[in-house]
Amino acid sequence: MRKLFYLDTTLRDGEQSLGFTLNSQQKLLIAEQLVKLGVDIIEAGFPASSPGDFSSVREISNKVKGAAICGMARCVEKDIDLCVEALKKAESPMINLGLAVSPIHMEKKLKLNPAQVVERAVNAVHYAKKRLPEVQFYAEDALRSDPCFLREVFENVIEAGAAVVTVSDTVGCATPWKYGGLITYLKANVKNIDHVRLSTHCHNDLGMATANSLAGILAGADQTEGTINGIGERAGNASLEEMIMSILYLTEFENIQSGIIIKEIFKTSKMVSEITEMPIAKNKPIVGSNVYTHFSGIHQDGVIKEKSTYEIIDPEIIGAQKGKISLSARSGKAALKYKLDELGFAYHKSDLEFIFNRFKRTADNKTRVSEEDLSLLLE
Ligand code: MN
Protein backbone atom coordinates (compact mmCIF):
# COMPACT_ATOMS: atom_id res chain seq x y z
CA MET A 1 0.00 0.00 0.00
CA ARG A 2 1.14 3.56 -0.56
CA LYS A 3 -0.12 6.63 1.24
CA LEU A 4 -1.65 9.47 -0.77
CA PHE A 5 -1.63 12.91 0.85
CA TYR A 6 -4.57 15.21 0.17
CA LEU A 7 -3.99 18.98 0.18
CA ASP A 8 -7.22 20.96 0.20
CA THR A 9 -6.99 24.45 -1.26
CA THR A 10 -10.68 25.42 -1.05
CA LEU A 11 -9.75 28.29 1.26
CA ARG A 12 -6.94 29.58 -0.98
CA ASP A 13 -7.40 28.72 -4.69
CA GLY A 14 -11.15 28.27 -4.16
CA GLU A 15 -11.68 31.44 -2.19
CA GLN A 16 -9.65 33.64 -4.53
CA SER A 17 -12.15 32.86 -7.30
CA LEU A 18 -15.31 33.90 -5.47
CA GLY A 19 -15.35 37.59 -6.29
CA PHE A 20 -15.71 38.33 -2.57
CA THR A 21 -13.80 37.21 0.51
CA LEU A 22 -14.84 34.88 3.29
CA ASN A 23 -14.38 36.11 6.84
CA SER A 24 -12.29 34.28 9.46
CA GLN A 25 -15.38 32.74 11.06
CA GLN A 26 -16.57 31.22 7.77
CA LYS A 27 -13.08 29.97 6.95
CA LEU A 28 -12.77 28.44 10.40
CA LEU A 29 -16.01 26.49 9.93
CA ILE A 30 -14.81 25.08 6.61
CA ALA A 31 -11.35 24.25 8.02
CA GLU A 32 -12.86 22.36 10.95
CA GLN A 33 -15.04 20.36 8.57
CA LEU A 34 -11.99 19.60 6.38
CA VAL A 35 -10.30 18.07 9.44
CA LYS A 36 -13.37 15.84 9.91
CA LEU A 37 -13.12 14.87 6.23
CA GLY A 38 -9.55 13.76 6.97
CA VAL A 39 -7.48 15.88 4.56
CA ASP A 40 -3.76 15.95 5.44
CA ILE A 41 -3.07 19.59 4.62
CA ILE A 42 -5.31 22.65 4.61
CA GLU A 43 -4.00 25.49 2.45
CA ALA A 44 -5.64 28.23 4.48
CA GLY A 45 -4.75 31.32 2.46
CA PHE A 46 -2.12 33.71 1.13
CA PRO A 47 -1.12 35.81 4.18
CA ALA A 48 0.74 38.49 2.19
CA SER A 49 -2.27 39.18 -0.04
CA SER A 50 -4.30 41.16 2.53
CA PRO A 51 -4.53 41.82 6.29
CA GLY A 52 -7.83 39.89 6.27
CA ASP A 53 -6.25 36.82 4.75
CA PHE A 54 -3.35 37.10 7.19
CA SER A 55 -5.73 37.02 10.17
CA SER A 56 -7.72 34.13 8.71
CA VAL A 57 -4.58 32.01 8.34
CA ARG A 58 -3.49 33.00 11.87
CA GLU A 59 -6.95 32.18 13.29
CA ILE A 60 -7.01 28.77 11.59
CA SER A 61 -3.43 28.07 12.76
CA ASN A 62 -4.39 28.92 16.34
CA LYS A 63 -7.61 26.92 16.49
CA VAL A 64 -7.65 24.10 13.95
CA LYS A 65 -5.78 20.96 15.01
CA GLY A 66 -5.57 17.60 13.30
CA ALA A 67 -4.23 18.68 9.88
CA ALA A 68 -1.14 20.53 8.67
CA ILE A 69 -1.89 24.19 7.99
CA CYS A 70 -0.30 25.69 4.92
CA GLY A 71 0.10 29.27 3.71
CA MET A 72 0.92 30.34 0.17
CA ALA A 73 3.75 32.75 -0.62
CA ARG A 74 5.63 34.14 -3.58
CA CYS A 75 9.41 33.63 -3.59
CA VAL A 76 10.01 36.93 -1.77
CA GLU A 77 11.17 37.40 1.82
CA LYS A 78 8.28 39.67 2.84
CA ASP A 79 5.72 37.02 1.80
CA ILE A 80 7.63 34.29 3.64
CA ASP A 81 7.95 36.42 6.81
CA LEU A 82 4.20 37.10 6.88
CA CYS A 83 3.46 33.43 6.29
CA VAL A 84 5.79 32.37 9.12
CA GLU A 85 4.12 34.89 11.42
CA ALA A 86 0.58 33.76 10.52
CA LEU A 87 1.49 30.08 10.97
CA LYS A 88 3.23 30.55 14.34
CA LYS A 89 0.72 28.55 16.41
CA ALA A 90 -0.07 25.88 13.82
CA GLU A 91 0.39 22.26 14.93
CA SER A 92 2.27 21.40 11.73
CA PRO A 93 2.95 24.60 9.78
CA MET A 94 3.80 24.40 6.11
CA ILE A 95 4.58 27.00 3.46
CA ASN A 96 3.70 26.67 -0.24
CA LEU A 97 6.22 28.71 -2.26
CA GLY A 98 5.76 29.16 -5.96
CA LEU A 99 7.50 30.47 -9.04
CA ALA A 100 6.63 30.21 -12.73
CA VAL A 101 8.78 27.97 -14.91
CA SER A 102 7.31 28.31 -18.43
CA PRO A 103 9.06 30.47 -21.06
CA ILE A 104 5.97 32.69 -21.45
CA HIS A 105 5.69 33.35 -17.71
CA MET A 106 9.45 33.82 -17.19
CA GLU A 107 9.88 36.23 -20.10
CA LYS A 108 6.62 38.18 -20.06
CA LYS A 109 5.59 38.14 -16.42
CA LEU A 110 8.70 37.68 -14.28
CA LYS A 111 11.18 39.18 -16.77
CA LEU A 112 13.79 36.71 -15.54
CA ASN A 113 15.98 34.27 -17.41
CA PRO A 114 15.93 30.55 -16.45
CA ALA A 115 19.11 30.81 -14.34
CA GLN A 116 17.62 33.71 -12.38
CA VAL A 117 14.43 31.71 -11.81
CA VAL A 118 16.43 28.81 -10.33
CA GLU A 119 18.38 31.24 -8.15
CA ARG A 120 15.26 32.97 -6.85
CA ALA A 121 13.53 29.67 -6.11
CA VAL A 122 16.56 28.25 -4.28
CA ASN A 123 17.05 31.42 -2.20
CA ALA A 124 13.39 31.45 -1.20
CA VAL A 125 13.37 27.76 -0.21
CA HIS A 126 16.58 28.30 1.84
CA TYR A 127 15.09 31.32 3.56
CA ALA A 128 11.81 29.54 4.33
CA LYS A 129 13.48 26.30 5.44
CA LYS A 130 15.35 28.21 8.19
CA ARG A 131 12.02 29.42 9.57
CA LEU A 132 9.60 26.53 9.01
CA PRO A 133 9.90 22.75 9.25
CA GLU A 134 8.13 21.95 5.98
CA VAL A 135 8.51 23.76 2.68
CA GLN A 136 6.56 22.95 -0.45
CA PHE A 137 7.65 24.39 -3.79
CA TYR A 138 5.16 24.62 -6.66
CA ALA A 139 6.28 25.08 -10.25
CA GLU A 140 3.71 27.41 -11.76
CA ASP A 141 2.63 26.71 -15.36
CA ALA A 142 4.74 23.53 -15.32
CA LEU A 143 2.86 21.96 -18.24
CA ARG A 144 4.10 24.65 -20.62
CA SER A 145 7.68 24.42 -19.37
CA ASP A 146 10.62 22.50 -20.79
CA PRO A 147 10.66 19.21 -18.81
CA CYS A 148 14.48 19.31 -18.58
CA PHE A 149 14.30 22.77 -17.02
CA LEU A 150 11.55 21.62 -14.65
CA ARG A 151 13.83 18.75 -13.61
CA GLU A 152 16.65 21.22 -12.93
CA VAL A 153 14.38 23.48 -10.85
CA PHE A 154 13.10 20.55 -8.76
CA GLU A 155 16.62 19.15 -8.18
CA ASN A 156 17.78 22.53 -6.94
CA VAL A 157 14.85 23.24 -4.62
CA ILE A 158 15.04 19.70 -3.20
CA GLU A 159 18.72 20.27 -2.44
CA ALA A 160 17.76 23.58 -0.80
CA GLY A 161 15.36 21.73 1.53
CA ALA A 162 11.93 21.48 -0.15
CA ALA A 163 9.97 18.48 1.17
CA VAL A 164 7.22 18.64 -1.47
CA VAL A 165 7.44 19.66 -5.13
CA THR A 166 4.30 20.36 -7.14
CA VAL A 167 3.60 20.11 -10.85
CA SER A 168 1.01 22.86 -11.37
CA ASP A 169 -1.13 22.81 -14.47
CA THR A 170 -1.96 26.43 -13.73
CA VAL A 171 -3.84 27.08 -16.96
CA GLY A 172 -5.55 23.69 -17.29
CA CYS A 173 -3.97 22.76 -20.62
CA ALA A 174 -2.87 19.21 -19.79
CA THR A 175 -4.32 15.90 -20.89
CA PRO A 176 -4.13 12.76 -18.74
CA TRP A 177 -1.50 11.17 -21.02
CA LYS A 178 0.67 14.31 -21.01
CA TYR A 179 0.32 14.89 -17.26
CA GLY A 180 0.97 11.24 -16.40
CA GLY A 181 3.94 11.22 -18.78
CA LEU A 182 5.49 14.24 -17.09
CA ILE A 183 5.13 12.69 -13.63
CA THR A 184 6.71 9.46 -14.90
CA TYR A 185 9.61 11.46 -16.37
CA LEU A 186 10.17 13.43 -13.14
CA LYS A 187 9.96 10.29 -10.96
CA ALA A 188 12.60 8.64 -13.12
CA ASN A 189 14.95 11.57 -13.58
CA VAL A 190 14.88 14.07 -10.71
CA LYS A 191 17.69 13.39 -8.23
CA ASN A 192 16.37 12.51 -4.74
CA ILE A 193 12.73 12.67 -5.87
CA ASP A 194 12.02 9.62 -3.69
CA HIS A 195 13.01 11.57 -0.59
CA VAL A 196 10.27 14.17 -1.12
CA ARG A 197 6.59 14.15 -2.06
CA LEU A 198 5.66 14.86 -5.66
CA SER A 199 2.29 16.63 -5.83
CA THR A 200 -0.36 17.32 -8.48
CA HIS A 201 -2.23 20.63 -8.86
CA CYS A 202 -4.60 20.68 -11.83
CA HIS A 203 -7.09 23.20 -13.21
CA ASN A 204 -10.23 22.32 -15.08
CA ASP A 205 -10.22 24.56 -18.18
CA LEU A 206 -10.67 21.59 -20.52
CA GLY A 207 -12.74 19.57 -18.05
CA MET A 208 -9.85 17.23 -17.32
CA ALA A 209 -8.57 18.34 -13.90
CA THR A 210 -9.69 15.18 -12.09
CA ALA A 211 -8.51 12.89 -14.91
CA ASN A 212 -5.12 14.64 -15.05
CA SER A 213 -4.65 14.37 -11.29
CA LEU A 214 -5.55 10.66 -11.39
CA ALA A 215 -3.06 10.11 -14.22
CA GLY A 216 -0.41 11.81 -12.05
CA ILE A 217 -1.26 9.63 -9.05
CA LEU A 218 -1.18 6.49 -11.20
CA ALA A 219 2.28 7.55 -12.42
CA GLY A 220 3.51 7.84 -8.83
CA ALA A 221 2.53 11.25 -7.41
CA ASP A 222 2.42 11.09 -3.60
CA GLN A 223 0.15 14.06 -3.00
CA THR A 224 -2.82 15.57 -4.78
CA GLU A 225 -4.38 19.01 -4.48
CA GLY A 226 -7.94 20.06 -5.09
CA THR A 227 -10.96 21.89 -3.76
CA ILE A 228 -14.39 20.89 -2.52
CA ASN A 229 -16.94 21.08 -5.36
CA GLY A 230 -14.02 21.91 -7.69
CA ILE A 231 -14.23 25.65 -7.03
CA GLY A 232 -11.21 27.73 -8.06
CA GLU A 233 -9.75 30.12 -10.62
CA ARG A 234 -11.73 30.19 -13.92
CA ALA A 235 -13.15 26.69 -14.55
CA GLY A 236 -11.91 25.63 -11.12
CA ASN A 237 -9.56 23.06 -9.64
CA ALA A 238 -9.64 19.29 -9.54
CA SER A 239 -12.59 18.39 -7.35
CA LEU A 240 -11.52 16.65 -4.17
CA GLU A 241 -14.66 14.52 -3.92
CA GLU A 242 -14.28 13.32 -7.52
CA MET A 243 -10.67 12.29 -6.90
CA ILE A 244 -11.51 10.58 -3.60
CA MET A 245 -14.38 8.53 -5.03
CA SER A 246 -12.51 7.65 -8.25
CA ILE A 247 -9.59 6.36 -6.18
CA LEU A 248 -11.96 4.38 -4.00
CA TYR A 249 -13.92 2.97 -6.93
CA LEU A 250 -11.29 2.23 -9.60
CA THR A 251 -9.30 -0.99 -9.20
CA GLU A 252 -6.08 0.55 -10.54
CA PHE A 253 -5.90 2.55 -7.30
CA GLU A 254 -6.44 -0.35 -4.90
CA ASN A 255 -2.92 0.08 -3.47
CA ILE A 256 -3.69 3.69 -2.40
CA GLN A 257 -4.29 4.52 1.26
CA SER A 258 -5.42 7.84 2.73
CA GLY A 259 -6.90 9.35 5.84
CA ILE A 260 -10.15 10.42 4.15
CA ILE A 261 -13.47 9.73 5.91
CA ILE A 262 -15.83 9.42 2.94
CA LYS A 263 -18.98 9.64 5.09
CA GLU A 264 -18.15 13.38 5.52
CA ILE A 265 -18.08 14.17 1.78
CA PHE A 266 -21.69 15.21 1.29
CA LYS A 267 -21.82 17.39 4.40
CA THR A 268 -18.53 19.10 3.48
CA SER A 269 -19.75 19.77 -0.06
CA LYS A 270 -23.03 21.28 1.17
CA MET A 271 -21.29 23.46 3.73
CA VAL A 272 -18.77 24.81 1.19
CA SER A 273 -21.54 25.49 -1.31
CA GLU A 274 -23.60 27.42 1.26
CA ILE A 275 -20.74 29.45 2.74
CA THR A 276 -19.16 30.31 -0.63
CA GLU A 277 -22.57 30.98 -2.25
CA MET A 278 -21.50 28.70 -5.10
CA PRO A 279 -24.46 26.46 -6.01
CA ILE A 280 -23.74 22.87 -6.99
CA ALA A 281 -24.92 21.92 -10.49
CA LYS A 282 -27.62 19.22 -10.33
CA ASN A 283 -25.48 16.93 -12.47
CA LYS A 284 -22.16 17.66 -10.69
CA PRO A 285 -20.44 14.26 -10.25
CA ILE A 286 -20.59 12.73 -6.74
CA VAL A 287 -22.52 15.56 -5.02
CA GLY A 288 -25.11 16.92 -7.51
CA SER A 289 -28.78 16.52 -6.51
CA ASN A 290 -29.66 14.48 -9.63
CA VAL A 291 -26.72 12.12 -9.40
CA TYR A 292 -28.57 9.44 -7.41
CA THR A 293 -32.02 10.02 -8.93
CA HIS A 294 -33.26 7.80 -11.73
CA PHE A 295 -35.53 9.21 -14.42
CA SER A 296 -35.74 6.78 -17.32
CA GLY A 297 -38.18 3.86 -17.08
CA ILE A 298 -35.52 1.40 -18.19
CA HIS A 299 -33.11 2.60 -15.49
CA GLN A 300 -35.85 2.67 -12.86
CA ASP A 301 -36.81 -0.93 -13.61
CA GLY A 302 -33.11 -1.85 -13.32
CA VAL A 303 -32.41 -0.17 -9.98
CA ILE A 304 -35.63 -1.54 -8.45
CA LYS A 305 -34.40 -5.05 -9.30
CA GLU A 306 -30.77 -4.40 -8.37
CA LYS A 307 -29.36 -0.97 -7.36
CA SER A 308 -25.94 -1.53 -8.87
CA THR A 309 -27.36 -1.91 -12.40
CA TYR A 310 -27.32 1.89 -12.75
CA GLU A 311 -25.71 3.14 -9.51
CA ILE A 312 -21.96 2.65 -9.17
CA ILE A 313 -21.73 4.59 -5.91
CA ASP A 314 -24.03 4.02 -2.95
CA PRO A 315 -24.93 7.62 -1.95
CA GLU A 316 -25.27 6.60 1.70
CA ILE A 317 -21.52 5.92 1.99
CA ILE A 318 -20.76 9.60 1.32
CA GLY A 319 -23.43 10.71 3.78
CA ALA A 320 -26.13 11.51 1.18
CA GLN A 321 -29.68 10.16 1.08
CA LYS A 322 -30.26 6.87 -0.71
CA GLY A 323 -31.02 6.87 -4.42
CA LYS A 324 -34.43 8.08 -5.61
CA ILE A 325 -36.91 7.24 -8.33
CA SER A 326 -38.41 10.31 -9.96
CA LEU A 327 -41.75 9.64 -11.65
CA SER A 328 -42.33 11.22 -15.04
CA ALA A 329 -43.77 10.31 -18.42
CA ARG A 330 -40.58 8.30 -18.99
CA SER A 331 -41.39 5.97 -16.05
CA GLY A 332 -42.78 2.49 -16.47
CA LYS A 333 -45.17 0.32 -14.49
CA ALA A 334 -42.40 -1.08 -12.26
CA ALA A 335 -41.47 2.41 -11.08
CA LEU A 336 -45.09 3.43 -10.49
CA LYS A 337 -45.76 0.30 -8.44
CA TYR A 338 -42.52 0.81 -6.48
CA LYS A 339 -43.44 4.41 -5.70
CA LEU A 340 -47.04 3.59 -4.71
CA ASP A 341 -45.77 0.87 -2.34
CA GLU A 342 -43.00 3.10 -0.97
CA LEU A 343 -45.48 5.87 -0.19
CA GLY A 344 -47.89 3.37 1.36
CA PHE A 345 -50.85 3.92 -0.99
CA ALA A 346 -53.57 1.26 -0.82
CA TYR A 347 -54.90 0.01 -4.15
CA HIS A 348 -56.18 -3.18 -5.64
CA LYS A 349 -53.67 -5.16 -7.71
CA SER A 350 -56.08 -5.53 -10.61
CA ASP A 351 -56.40 -1.72 -10.76
CA LEU A 352 -52.71 -1.17 -11.47
CA GLU A 353 -53.18 -1.15 -15.26
CA PHE A 354 -55.95 1.48 -14.95
CA ILE A 355 -53.90 3.60 -12.52
CA PHE A 356 -50.91 3.35 -14.83
CA ASN A 357 -52.90 4.67 -17.81
CA ARG A 358 -54.17 7.62 -15.79
CA PHE A 359 -50.65 8.21 -14.46
CA LYS A 360 -49.26 8.38 -18.02
CA ARG A 361 -51.87 10.98 -18.99
CA THR A 362 -51.04 13.12 -15.95
CA ALA A 363 -47.30 12.68 -16.49
CA ASP A 364 -47.45 13.89 -20.08
CA ASN A 365 -48.66 17.25 -18.82
CA LYS A 366 -46.06 17.57 -16.02
CA THR A 367 -42.29 17.39 -15.67
CA ARG A 368 -42.50 15.32 -12.51
CA VAL A 369 -45.37 13.53 -10.80
CA SER A 370 -45.45 14.37 -7.12
CA GLU A 371 -46.86 12.51 -4.14
CA GLU A 372 -49.92 14.82 -4.21
CA ASP A 373 -50.47 14.05 -7.90
CA LEU A 374 -50.43 10.34 -7.13
CA SER A 375 -52.87 10.71 -4.29
CA LEU A 376 -55.30 12.74 -6.49
CA LEU A 377 -54.95 10.14 -9.21
CA LEU A 378 -55.84 7.31 -6.80
CA GLU A 379 -58.93 9.11 -5.56
MN1 MN B 1 -4.18 26.93 -8.78
The predicted pLDDT at position 367 comes to 77
Ion ligand 1 neighbours (CB, 5 A) are 13
Amino acid at 314: D
Domain layout of the chain by residue ranges: 2-276, 293-378
Ranges of the chain whose pLDDT falls below 50: none
Task: Give dist(CA 219, CA 198) in Å, integer.
Answer: 11
The predicted pLDDT at position 369 comes to 85
CA of 235 to the centre of ligand 1 (A): 11
Amino acid at 347: Y
Q: Each residue of 269-301: pLDDT tens digit?
A: 999 999 999 999 999 999 999 999 998 999 999
List phi, psi (to 5°) of 223.
-140, 150
The predicted pLDDT at position 16 comes to 93
CA of 13 to the centre of ligand 1 (A): 6
CA of 220 to the centre of ligand 1 (A): 21
CA of 260 to the centre of ligand 1 (A): 22
Task: Give dist(CA 129, CA 36) in Å, integer.
Answer: 29
- Indicate the fold that domain 2-276 takes in CATH: TIM Barrel (3.20.20)
The predicted pLDDT at position 356 comes to 94
Check if the beta carbon of residue 164 is closer than 8 Å to that of residue 224: no
CA of 132 to the centre of ligand 1 (A): 23
Round to the nearest angstrom and report the end-to-end CA distance of the chain: 60
Task: Give dist(CA 217, CA 6) in Å, integer.
Answer: 11
Torsion of CA 118, 138, 50, 275, to 10 degrees: 170
Q: Each residue of 190-239: pLDDT tens digit?
A: 999 999 999 999 999 999 999 999 999 999 999 999 999 999 999 999 99
CA of 237 to the centre of ligand 1 (A): 7
CA of 42 to the centre of ligand 1 (A): 14
How many secondary structure helices (H) and strands (E) does the chain include? Answer: 14, 12
Q: Each residue of 118-129: pLDDT tens digit?
A: 999 999 999 999
